[in-house]
Chains A and B, each alone.
Chain A
Amino acid sequence: EPEVTQTPSHQVTQMGQEVILRCVPISNHLYFYWYRQILGQKVEFLVSFYNNEISEKSEIFDDQFSVERPDGSNFTLKIRSTKLEDSAMYFCASRLGVETQYFGPGTRLLVL
């Protein structure tokens, strides 16, 4: 069964460093998303992406964040200058159209 994959599974970085989280959505899907979950809190929407542009973004998704689909398979989330409060699980998701959104296993980001 096709699934969304994410790398790395864990990332430790120093405050102020740039990180890139990578996702491979399900191959024929058209809509892509990033969510995050701070430890002990609920899953929060960050950004949606369709047709090579951002469809919607939340207040969390400020100028420090960017997304890119550099080729036909990868979907990346970049945090330019990480802050302590960026420590969280980051989930990628994709959907084909009006059907179900499928989530990846997540990347645990720890900013020291």
Chain B
Amino acid sequence: DAKTTQPTSMDCAEGRAANLPCNHSTISGNEYVYWYRQIHSQGPQYIIHGLKNNETNEMASLIITEDRKSSTLILPHATLRDTAVYYCIVVGTSYDKVIFGPGTSLSVIP
């Protein structure tokens, strides 16, 4: 079973920041927090990952709390093309499979 909990759905106005929360209270010290998204039955797309520190790339920012029990994915300026299901996933450092939960369905509204 997935080790994370996320809201089922969220709306965001186009051009505004989308903040997607995730709880992973049972995360262990060597596990990473990964975010993927899936746009309408396409393959899951990698967004960003982190261990302890906040991370930023061209797609998004990842804020991880100091106790690592939760995190927030931030899409700074959401566009209609960001409408997708967003998955927060905890992955270990072995050849672990990715266990997908139901994710958060983000709708970006014009």
Contacts and interface: CB of A to CB of B under 8 A. Distances in A.
A91 B43 contact: yes
A93 B34 CA distance: 15
Q: Classify the interface of chain A: helix, strand, loop or mixed.
A: strand
Interface residues of B, number: 21
Interface in A82-112: 89, 91, 93, 95, 98, 100-106, 108
B95 A95 contact: yes
A112 B43 CA distance: 23
Contacts of A98: 93-94
Interface string A21-38: 000000000010101010
A99 to B, nearest CB: 9
A100 B95 contact: no
Contacts of B49: 100
A103 B44 contact: yes
Interface extent on A, as a size class? 20 to 34
A84 B14 CA distance: 40
Contact of A33 (B94, B97, B100, B103): B97
Interface string B27-39: 0000000101010
Contact of A55 (B93, B95, B100): B95
Given A89-B41, A95-B95, A43 B100 contact: yes
A94 to B, nearest CB: 11
A43 B38 contact: yes
A61 B9 CA distance: 31
Contacts of A37: 41
Contact of B98 (A55, A101, A105, A106): A101
Interface of A: 4, 31, 33, 35, 37, 39, 42-45, 48, 50, 55-56, 89, 91, 93, 95, 98, 100-106, 108
Query: Would you list the 8 A-B pairs with minimal beta carbon distance, nearest first?
Result: A103-B43, A43-B100, A45-B97, A98-B93, A103-B44, A31-B95, A105-B43, A42-B100
